[in-house]
Amino acid sequence: MEYKIAIETGNTGLWYGRIIDFPGTHARARSLPNLLKELEEEAYYHNTWLRRHGETQIDLDDLHIKIVERINDVNMLGESGGEVALFEFDLESVNDDYLKKCIKYMEYNREDLLTLLIGVNKETLNFIPPGKKRNIVQILGHICNVEEWYISRLGLDAEEFYKENLGVTEEEADNLPIHERMKIVRNAVNNTLFEIIPKREGVFTRQEYCLFPDEKWSARKVLRRFLEHEREHIYNIRWYLRHEIRRFP
């Protein structure tokens, strides 16, 4: 079975990729051959992930992946504030079924993330492994920040809807314990996506709160980035926890 993939690279030495027909799939590597290998593994992981969440599995017999879109020169790819590519498939319109599917998958990701943290002690949550910039608590805060930022890419009216759906001020939300903040932010995000996505067609930009005001966005790109970003950090936190086990054998 052949599956189409879209890849991007830039000036950071990183390669990013996803399987187009499976929203949320994500892999990164330091070379194209390694990225392709990671994407094959990602297909098998995604199949397990679908089964675990009660979804229909995909056909992986005689798996073959094919690059159909490649975008180079993405600024600061993989760094905070960096760009991500807008692909041809991002230009497709978002119908109600696709929107509901993406939000359902977002909730699966959140369930996976929170399950990882069950029973994790405070010392582990606050430990920063060598070579990393954030501890796990800071990663969770970063996920909240980025979700708010993705909403802002949908336009000024999206921000206003988000603030109304939040129910408290953004400052009050920021000061909540992290698990409470994650819950209140995600609820506001979901409600805002349902209100805004059906009104968003075509390609748009947003100059505020970013390093690259000309970066192009679409409703579908926003949705896939919600999914890809959280899955990337689920993988990241799993690495943190494995590192912690090695630190305290």
pLDDT value at 179 more than 50: yes
SS3 3: strand
Q: Which amino acid is at 194?
A: F
* Ramachandran region, residue 167 (left: φ > 0; alpha: ψ -120 to 50; beta: rest): left
Backbone angles phi, psi at 139, to 5 degrees: -65, -40
Task: State the residue for tokens 């919600």.
Answer: 226
| Nearest alpha-carbon partner for 110 in 230, 232, 238 | 230
Confidence of residue 249 (pLDDT cuts 50, 70, 90): very low
Backbone angles phi, psi at 19, to 5 degrees: -90, 120
pLDDT of residue 199: 87
Q: Does an H or E element contain 64, and which? A: strand 64-74
pLDDT value at 245 more than 70: no
Which CATH superfamily does the domain covering 89-247 fall into? dinb family like domain (1.20.120.450)
pTM of the model: 0.95
Distance CA 95, CA 37 (A): 32
Distance CA 93, CA 114 (A): 31
**Residue range 210-236: mean pLDDT, rounded:** 97
**Residue range 202-218: mean pLDDT, rounded:** 95
For the structural domain made of 2-85, what CATH number should be given?
3.30.160.250
| Nearest alpha-carbon partner for 193 in 232, 219, 218, 213 | 219
Any idea where the domains of the chain sit in the sequence? 2-85, 89-247
- List for the chain the helix, strand, coil content (%; round to 5): 55, 10, 35
**Residue range 187-214: mean pLDDT, rounded:** 95
